[in-house]
Structure 1
Amino acid sequence: MAEIQLRYVAQARSGDKGNTCDLGLFAKTEEMYKVFKEQVTVQRVKEHFKGIVEGDVSRYEVKSIYGLKFVLEQALGGGAPSSLRTDNLGKSFGSNLLRMRIEVPDELLNEQHCIKLPQ
């Protein structure tokens, strides 16, 4: 079992609407999707964005595309017009989530769908 950042095995897309961030995390295979469902929980996402997301975090499973959708409330310092943050947009949340570390079985890392890990 290897502990790696999500960026090596996932893709993410995120955006914003007002003070809410919409964040999608996508696996390339059903096996990796199962790992994501087990490890990328609401609690872990809330902890990952501690100090940034002040509201609730919800998660929705989209099995047909091996995706997890997260909705992060009160995540953008009030939204673009009222925030003092220099980059408060939800677009940066996807790349931030990809820094989260998860444990992945070695046999999944050896499959060709995984991005090459650093030596």
Structure 2
Amino acid sequence: MHSQRLTLHDFAHARAGDKGNRLNLAVFVYREDHYNWLLGQLTEKRVSEIFSHRGVTNVRRYPLPKLFGVNFVLDDVLQGGVNGSLNLDGHGKTLSAMLLSMTVENPVSL
């Protein structure tokens, strides 16, 4: 049986902000009954692994239960910051799209 590839974007949206070399990523599920599923999918370890190629040194997760989301603060992921990096797009918005493209388990099957 062929299984469909599901991404975080199928179940959530994100907002991003960057300041210097620190990135703030907030992810919110579309349906509040998926909140506990989100907590299981988005751990500090998994987010750190996703951004390891960018040199992230620390990831902190802050659950936002009344908003049905989580906020992550990532250190040293912007490779010097928007003005200090040689990357064409060092903004956090691009990195939020990268996070939303991660493969996830189907919350219905859990």
TM-score, structure 1 normalization = 0.82
Q: Secondary structure at the match of 1:101?
A: coil
Aligned to 2:62: 60
Q: For residue 76 of structure 2, what is the amino acid of its counterpart?
A: Q
Q: Does the Cα contact within 8 Å between 1:2 and 1:105 map onto a contact in 2?
A: no
For residues 60 and 107 of structure 1, the distance between their equivalents in structure 2, rounded to whole angstroms, comes to 26
Pick from 86, 89, 94 the counterpart of residue 87 of structure 1: 89
Paired residues in the alignment total: 108
- Shift, 1:3, TM fit: 5.3
Q: CA deviation at 1:66?
A: 0.2
Alignment correspondent of 1:114: none
The structural deviation recorded for 1:82 is 1.6
In structure 2, list runs of 5 or more residues that go unmatched. none
Identity %: 37
User: What's the C-alpha RMSD, in Å, of the aligned pairs?
Assistant: 1.9
**Deviation larger for 63-72 or 52-61:** 52-61
- What displacement does 1:106 show? 3.0
One-letter amino acid of the structure 1 residue matched with residue 49 of structure 2 = E
Which residue in the other structure is 2:16 paired with?
14
TM superposition shift of 1:30: 2.8
- Residues 12-43 of structure 1, C-alpha deviation per residue, up to 9 Å, x if partnerless? 11110000000000012232111110121011
